[in-house]
Copies of this chain bind each other. A is one copy, B any other.
């Protein structure tokens, strides 16, 4: 049966129709003046999304993980010390990449679903009197557990302590979903990918690089060519590109940025927060347990414990085959233990409701006792007072 699928994995997300259509534009000459103008325009508007005036936004033909590798090789020398806030697969991924390239990584960890506390980070920075720590790395939203860290607080504590460490934030599953102002919070490097809040297919990595990070780039000797921040930045400023740009996705990006500007970034954040509250209230009302406490809850994705009576495989299959809703599973140690519902990008309250109803139905089908209607009743209550003004 041909049907409209509810793609609720934590990325890739739904692509709006108007973006889908431009993806079928024919190839153009990369040096064409119209394309050069397009490239300039998206670079400019990306600054709006990263909330930076002072930074540069670089676009790599790569996935978000490529953006993380790019950060490592542009900002870290062999032996440089990284304080890695590891609370899941993706924050750990950057630590692994940094180690791969010779950095000395010290991990501060937390249990799954939680975050490394700002105080713990501050304590560690305070101990580092010699300023050995060159970079603090963290995921804004740790996609694997859905825990959101307090980037602002960590940046403030760093400032208060006068510690010069660079702050590197993986915003792959949060950018354009959750507020993360690069300038206002003085974040040195922010990384994201195309297939989440930007509502595009995968294939572009974006890195926002700000002042002190540029100083580090100038001093780092780790070999890099494809990922070279300086070259990419200089060529983009000239209206060029160091190699062939992935133009199809750039065409789509133009539409994506238009869509974000039309809604207004803060309306987008607010919408995501409301949808999150609906999801969280809904799954709780069904007797399910969220992995992440409210204080770390993500507006872009939610993780729910698989009830003891069920298996993830059964639940996922039932949701997909019977109800057309595609959910994500747990990664690594969380495999089989949680399921994840993405609610980022183009998404409405009605779709969230549909997902909750499908979940309720699937749970009932599999014999898990749920009070009929409990999920949507709670979700509506959670979303109603706020939603009308979006």
Contacts and interface: CB of A to CB of B under 8 A. Distances in A.
Interface in A1-50: 1-7, 9, 11-18, 20-32
B244 A12 contact: yes
Given A202-B246, A202-B247, 16 more contacts: A1-B390, A13-B27, A17-B25, A21-B21, A23-B248, A24-B24, A100-B225, A102-B223, A195-B244, A322-B349, A323-B348, A350-B357, A351-B354, A353-B358, A372-B380, A372-B381
Contacts of A271: 1
A346 interface: yes
Contacts of A243: 63-66
B346 A3 contact: yes
> Chain copies in the assembly?
4
Interface of A: 1-7, 9, 11-18, 20-32, 61-66, 69, 96-97, 100-102, 193, 195, 201-203, 223-226, 242-249, 259, 262-263, 267, 271, 322-326, 328, 346-351, 353-354, 357-358, 360-361, 364-365, 372-374, 376-377, 380-381, 384, 387-388, 390
Contacts of A65: 225-226, 242-244
A20 B2 CA distance: 13
A378 to B, nearest CB: 9
Contact of A66 (B61, B223, B322, B372): B61
Given A22-B21, A28-B7, A32-B326, A225 B351 contact: no
B21 A7 contact: no
Contacts of A24: 20-21, 23-24
Contacts of A17: 25-26
A2 B346 contact: yes
